[in-house]
Amino acid sequence: MNSVFKYITNKPFWVNLLTAIIIVVLFLILFLKMLGWLTKHGQYLKVPAVTGMNTNDAIKLLQEKGFEVYIQDSVFTDTAKRGVVLKQLPDPNATVKINRTVFITVNRYEPPMVEMPRLEGQNLAFAIQMLERYHLKLGDTTYRPDWMLNSVLEQQYNGMRIAEKAKVQWGSRIDLVIGAGLVSKQMLVPSLIGMTYQEAKAYLDESGIGLGAIIVDGQVTDTASAYIFKQRPQRFDLNDMPVYIQSGQVMDIWISQVMKVITDSTGKKERP
């Protein structure tokens, strides 16, 4: 150690300075070489095309080629296969440095849920546009006599009426009941007394007659099985003449959980 110190101190200053500069330069060159080796500086790879591939296969291929993979987004479209890569960044065949991260956007396996729009009361053409906007499909269309010609009277999903903002799966088929206008054909007022609500509703729908007011007598725990004991209009007027009704008009009904017998002011049973 003493000999090294004496060697340094016995040399002129400029020699020591030059020696120090050479050592620093050599150290920097060695450091940069090691840095390039560690970071693989100057090595480039071509990004393979994975758009349209199954997501798992795409990730495996990219990792085998020396890329990091990050799923940037997960969306859904019914125009592409489920579970495939829709987009990648960098683009296919781009030349990038090794260890570069490739960002991919994939198509979901399961369609998302969307809100049911309000179609009832809307024109049929507008309702179809709304279904497309909400990524839903038009199912069956049935026509019912009603003064709201070509307007949606009821929106249904799987045979049941569906409310606005209810959640349904993307691409679901929505059935519509459309108003067919009123016809001049008249029919005798049907007798609903003794029927259950469910039976009467089905009968009236088939005849094109709507339900108006529903008056509940007492406690009703099951509306569908409740009995109708009174209706308006009745089948016969005060002069015992038949009363007529036409499609598109409505009838009011009174329901009870048990069947009741109604009598008029003279004590006679009301005619069915």
Cβ 122 vs Cβ 130: under 8 Å: yes
Q: Give the pLDDT band (50/70/90) at residue 262.
A: low
- Say what the pLDDT of residue 42 is: 53
- Say what the pLDDT of residue 256 is: 94
Torsion of CA 24, 30, 32, 33, to 10 degrees: 160
Query: Does residue 268 have a pLDDT over 50?
Result: no
- Say what the pLDDT of residue 265 is: 38
> Percentage of the chain surpassing pLDDT 90?
45
Query: How does the average pLDDT of the chain come out, rounded?
Result: 83
211, amino acid identity: L
How many Cα atoms within 13 Å fall on the side-chain side of residue 45?
A: 18
Q: Give 246-261 pLDDT, tens digit per residue.
A: 877 889 999 999 888 7
How large is the average pLDDT for residues 137-143?
90
Query: Does residue 263 have a pLDDT over 80?
Result: no
Distance (Å, rounded) from C-alpha 61 to C-alpha 64?
Answer: 5
3-state secondary structure of 12: coil
Distance (Å, rounded) from C-alpha 228 to C-alpha 194?
Answer: 6
Query: Does residue 211 have a pLDDT over 60?
Result: yes
How large is the average pLDDT for residues 161-166?
94
Q: Give the pLDDT band (50/70/90) at residue 8.
A: low
Q: In what order do the strands lie in the sheet with 250-256?
A: 210-217, 250-256, 227-232
Q: Is the dihedral angle over the CA atoms 79, 81, 83, 85 positive or is it negative? A: negative
More confident position, 17 or 5: 17
How large is the average pLDDT for residues 139-145?
86
Query: Does residue 243 have a pLDDT over 70?
Result: yes
Query: Does residue 193 have a pLDDT over 60?
Result: yes
Per the structure block, which two tokens stand in for 41?
């500086």
Indicate the range of 77-91, 166-180, 205-219, 254-268 predicted with least confidence: 254-268
Q: Give the pLDDT band (50/70/90) at residue 127.
A: very high
Q: Give the pLDDT band (50/70/90) at residue 35.
A: low
DSSP 116-131: PP--TTSBHHHHHHHH
Distance (Å, rounded) from C-alpha 216 to C-alpha 255?
Answer: 5
Query: Does residue 123 have a pLDDT over 70?
Result: yes
* 203: Cβ contacts below 8 Å, ≥ 6 apart: 190, 192, 195
Query: DSSP secondary-structure letter at 207?
Result: H
- Say what the pLDDT of residue 267 is: 40
Cβ 144 vs Cβ 208: under 8 Å: yes
Query: DSSP secondary-structure letter at 223?
Result: G
Q: Give the pLDDT band (50/70/90) at residue 10.
A: low
Q: Give the pLDDT band (50/70/90) at residue 271.
A: low
How large is the average pLDDT for residues 32-42?
55
Distance (Å, rounded) from C-alpha 172 to C-alpha 174?
Answer: 6
